[in-house]
Amino acid sequence: MFVGVLLLAWISALVPIWAAPVLPLEGWYEQLALVQLWSHLGDARWAVERFYARALAPVPGWTQLGLIRALATVLPVETAGRAWLSVYALALPVGVARLADAFGRSRWLALFAFALVWNLPLAVGQASFAAGLALLAFAVAELELLLRRPSRGHAVAVVALGLLLWLTDAGAWGFFVLAAIVLCATTRPAALTLLLPSVALALVGARAMPSGDTPTTWPAMIQRLADAPSSMVLTFGDRAYELLLLLGGVWLILLLGARTDEADTQARGFRLEALTLLALLLALTLPADLHRPVELGGAAARFWPVVALLLALAPHGPLDGRRRLWLLPVLAIVILYPLGIRHAAMTLEKPLHGARRLAELVEPGASTLTVAAFDPEPLPFGPRVHVVSQAHAFPVLVAGGFDPALPVGFPLRRTGLLPTPPSLGALDPDAIASWDHLLTFGEGFPYERLGPDAQSRFPLDATDGKWRLYRRAARSGAVQP
């Protein structure tokens, strides 16, 4: 029955993944564009090598971009991305169920994890961290099982998952290391040696990762607490807060209604609670963004979903008989919430439809400069998720070319670039002469940015809604190294 319920919730979680024309995930299409370029290295028509080369160091991101790249050999890249998200949407609750088993909790509590599939790190471009959450659950579970009943299989799993975690996300891997210290310290300290391979890999990989010198900011404690709820789930309007309140209420009932034997045999101490405390300390003490030794954006806030996942498993005691009925509202929420996300995501279609359609007109290998004015239309996903600004990735997804806004480092590094004007307000046609296309959004009238004299050099190719595509009349394609 548990498997059936899990599948039902998973099917609902798939709805926004597959039914929403545009996914409400910041940075998602930029990441897909990177995979697309990676897939087309060596393709003469795309000539990606003009601007990019492989940069395949042992750094975080492999589990996301590498897997999508592998799937993209048989699927279109956007479909591959959705398939990856589908696997993630199942892996997270299954991992939490495994974690529940390992720490003597009811696996039914893993239903709460479906609400956290759509978490804020995923929504703001940290999909790797979201995947890291799923792997983290498996890794910690395997470690706990190893400590309780040492076996070669568990040991191999811990080593493998540790390596995989580093190749997924540095924050998730870091938490795993700290969690391992906490768990092993009082049972089998020698088990910490199983982390050495991943530590070695991390030391090698960290050298290839950028670090910044931006001043570190430390949010006030009160601000951290105030931001905690919105840091957990993908927010759109008040829906997410209603969801948190309802889930919190059910969780509280389960927590307060727990009954166990005198020794609390299943839970065996407060080991899981210690990990929760660890996650809470990280959320309350880390800086807003970590710049050294590696760049880790949203360092503190990304641990709130970890706190939420671990807290979800806090209730001790079995969930059987009538007590299990309390999970009905949870099931209802985890089924309806993704449907709500999908419904809200439909509103993203309108502002981006034009960009996607015009991008189809770009020929392979052409470079498109995208200039999008701020769209005052309020989107439903709160102030932290910006989707329209990703429109520059659509021409790259279709045709490749150079894009100054793509986040390079892994799996590609830049080898050449096109001159990009420092200001994208009024554009000088001479300054953008190397670009094949100009894609604009929000112009009051045609040639508002280029000026009326640019008509012969950048004729208007097509219009769709507020989007306009200009095509350079003659190719020069001067590439700067």
Partner 1 sequence: MIRRAWQEDRARVLVFAALAVATVLPLWVGRYLPLLDGPNHLSAIAIWHFEHDPRFDFDHSYYLNKAPLPYWVHYYACHLLAYLVPVEVANKIFLTGYALALPLGAAALARRFGRSPWLALFAFPLVWNFNLAEGFISYCAGLAACVWGLCLVDRHCERPSVTSTLAVLGFGSLMYFFHLLPYMFFLVAAGLLVLAQDEPLRIRRLVERGAPVVGSCAIGMWAYVHERSLGFRSISGERNFIFDPLGEVIAHVPGRLLNFLSSGRDEWVVAVLACSWIVLVLAGARGRDVDPRRPFGLYDLRAELCFALAVACVLFLPRSMHRPFNWYMINLRFVPVAALFGALLVRGDFAGRRRWLFAPVAAAGLFYAIDVARMIVVFNRHVDGFDELVAKIPLHRATITLAFQPRSDPEVNVDCFNQWPSYTQIRRGGYNFYNFNYGFPLRYKRSRPAPLWNHPEMFNFETMGRAWDYFLTHNEGVRTSLFPALATEGKVVLVYESGPWKLWQRIGEPAPEPPVTDVPLNAY
How does DSSP assign 294-345, residue by residue? S-BTTTTGGGHHHHHHHHHT---S---GGGGGGHHHHHHHHHHHHHHHHHHH
| C-alpha–C-alpha distance, residues 100 and 84, integer Å | 24
Which of 245/332 has CB closer to partner 1? 245
Which of 268/413 has CB closer to partner 1? 268
Which of 239/291 has CB closer to partner 1? 239
Which of 169/227 has CB closer to partner 1? 227
Sign of the C-alpha dihedral, residues 257, 260, 265, 268? positive
Instruction: Please state whether the peptide bond connecting residue 16 to the residue before it is cis, i.e. omega within 30 degrees of 0.
Output: no
Cβ at position 12, least distance to partner 1 in Å: 23
| C-alpha–C-alpha distance, residues 363 and 334, integer Å | 42
Cβ at position 147, least distance to partner 1 in Å: 21
Which of 195/307 has CB closer to partner 1? 307
How does DSSP assign 391-437, residue by residue? GGHHHHHHH----TTS--SSSEEES-B----S--SS--TTTTTT-SE
Cβ at position 134, least distance to partner 1 in Å: 25
Q: What's the token pair of residue 270? A: 């407060």
DSSP letter at 287? -
Helix (H) or strand (E) holding 361: none
Residue among 257, 381, 233, 385 nearest 309 (CA): 233
Q: What's the token pair of residue 256? A: 């307060």
Cβ at position 23, least distance to partner 1 in Å: 22
Which of 146/311 has CB closer to partner 1? 311
Which of 190/256 has CB closer to partner 1? 256
Cβ at position 238, least distance to partner 1 in Å: 4
Cβ at position 260, least distance to partner 1 in Å: 5
Which of 19/225 has CB closer to partner 1? 225
Q: b vs e for 402-420, b when ≥16 Cβ sit within 10 Å of the residue's Cβ?
A: bbeebebbbbbeeeebbeb
Look at residue 269 and give its three-state secondary structure: coil
- Asked if 147 contacts 173 with a C-beta cutoff of 8 angstroms, the reply is no
- Which residues bind to partner 1, rule: CB under 8 A? 220-222, 224-227, 229-230, 235, 237-238, 240-242, 244-245, 252, 255-256, 258-264, 267, 270, 273, 277, 280, 284, 311, 314, 316-317
Cβ at position 179, least distance to partner 1 in Å: 17
Cβ at position 459, least distance to partner 1 in Å: 47
Cβ at position 291, least distance to partner 1 in Å: 22
Which of 44/252 has CB closer to partner 1? 252
212 φ, ψ (degrees, to nearest 5): -110, 170
Cα distance from N-terminal residue to C-terminal residue, the chain: 60
- Asked if 76 contacts 39 with a C-beta cutoff of 8 angstroms, the reply is no
Cβ at position 340, least distance to partner 1 in Å: 15
Instruction: Please state whether the peptide bond connecting residue 293 to the residue before it is cis, i.e. omega within 30 degrees of 0.
Output: yes
| C-alpha–C-alpha distance, residues 30 and 396, integer Å | 9
Which of 1/256 has CB closer to partner 1? 256
- Asked if 11 contacts 376 with a C-beta cutoff of 8 angstroms, the reply is no
Residues whose CB is less than 8 angstroms from the CB of residue 142 and which lie 6 or more positions away in sequence, other chains included: 102, 154, 157, 158, 161
Which of 251/410 has CB closer to partner 1? 251
Cβ at position 270, least distance to partner 1 in Å: 7
Residue among 243, 283, 256 nearest 114 (CA): 243
Cβ at position 278, least distance to partner 1 in Å: 11
Which of 76/249 has CB closer to partner 1? 249
| Amino acid (one-letter) located at 310 | L
